[in-house]
């Protein structure tokens, strides 16, 4: 579905991505992990065409995305912090976005599922953080596209909404949809990710399944495994 091939990106003196090569398989859930500043957001933005790599290539469905834009119609990206027009109601926003994308959208079931129907006529500036995140999720899943990218999807959600999100991700995977997501909630990642890509300082430090990372680090859960990889990297740098 998606291939990052030896992608490099520098901002000034800072090398953000260093020869990053990743294969995101079709029809599964892939978590892109790493501490703040590891290059996760920059990597995702190279796929979206928001950042142009200094070198390397990004492939989507067998074709390079560099210098192109039409492929974006087959991708939905939910940012961690979405900036919507504050004077619009939720209903107006849900009606506007399909017109801007010029794509059909179905959101009635999603609105009911996440309880958004309770505040459909409220303006965006009147919503709490959790309410906004529920709207974000409806926007992310209301289009029938093959790839959905979610940046910190559980941010601000109550436990009931998190449970519904988990169920939805499983359902979408069964339909063949590819999901890429980032998260700092390791319990969520351990439950949901089929594959993990762990970035450290712009380098792919690990790529594989949850069971493989636990075996490699000799740990019992993903939180401990990630901490182990970070500590190993710090120790290696100390001896260089």
Q: Per residue in 171-229, pLDDT tens?
A: 999 999 999 999 999 999 999 999 999 999 999 999 999 999 999 999 999 999 999 99
Find the CATH number of the domain harbouring 199: 3.40.50.300
Q: Is the confidence at residue 239, as pLDDT, over 70?
A: no
pLDDT tier at 238, thresholds 50, 70, 90: low
Query: For residue 26, what are the CA distances in angstroms to 70, 148, 172?
Result: 19, 11, 12
pTM of the predicted structure, to 2 decimals:
0.93
pLDDT of residue 82: 77
H helices present in the chain, as ranges: 40-48, 90-101, 108-113, 129-141, 159-174, 186-192, 210-217, 222-238
The total domain count for the chain is 1
Q: What is the pLDDT of residues 14-32, one digit of tens each?
A: 999 999 999 999 999 999 9
Handedness of CA 191, 139, 176, 23 (dihedral sign): negative
Task: Please give the residue range of the domain that contains residue 74.
Answer: 2-238
pLDDT tier at 237, thresholds 50, 70, 90: low
Residues 6+ apart with CB under 8 A from 32: 40, 43, 44, 180, 181, 182, 197, 199
Q: Is the confidence at residue 133, as pLDDT, over 60?
A: yes
How many angstroms separate the first and last alpha carbons of the chain? 37
CA distance 109 to 237: 50
pLDDT tier at 96, thresholds 50, 70, 90: very high
């Amino acid at each position: 579905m998606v291939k990052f091939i030896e992608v490099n990106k520098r901002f000034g003196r800072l090398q953000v991505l260093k020869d990053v090569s990743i294969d995101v398989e079709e029809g599964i859930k892939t978590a892109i992990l790493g501490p703040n500043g590891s290059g996760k957001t920059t990597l995702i933005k190279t796929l979206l065409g928001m950042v142009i790599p200094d070198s390397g290539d990004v492939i989507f469905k067998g074709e390079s995305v560099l210098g192109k834009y039409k492929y974006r119609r087959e991708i939905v990206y939910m940012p961690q912090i979405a900036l919507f027009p504050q004077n619009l109601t939720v209903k107006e926003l849900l009606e506007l976005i399909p017109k801007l994308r010029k794509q059909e959208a179905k959101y009635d079931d999603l609105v009911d599922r996440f309880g958004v129907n309770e505040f459909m006529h409220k303006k965006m500036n009147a919503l709490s953080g959790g309410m906004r995140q529920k709207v974000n999720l409806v926007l992310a899943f209301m289009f029938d596209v093959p790839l959905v990218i979610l940046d910190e999807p559980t941010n601000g959600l109550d436990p009931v909404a998190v449970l519904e999100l988990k169920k939805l991700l499983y359902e979408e995977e069964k339909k063949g949809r590819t999901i890429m997501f980032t998260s700092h909630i390791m319990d969520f990642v351990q439950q949901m990710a089929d594959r993990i890509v762990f970035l450290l300082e712009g380098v792919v430090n690990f790529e594989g399944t949850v069971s493989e990372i636990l075996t490699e680090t000799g740990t019992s859960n993903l939180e401990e495994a990630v901490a182990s990889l970070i500590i190993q990297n710090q120790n290696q740098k100390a001896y260089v």
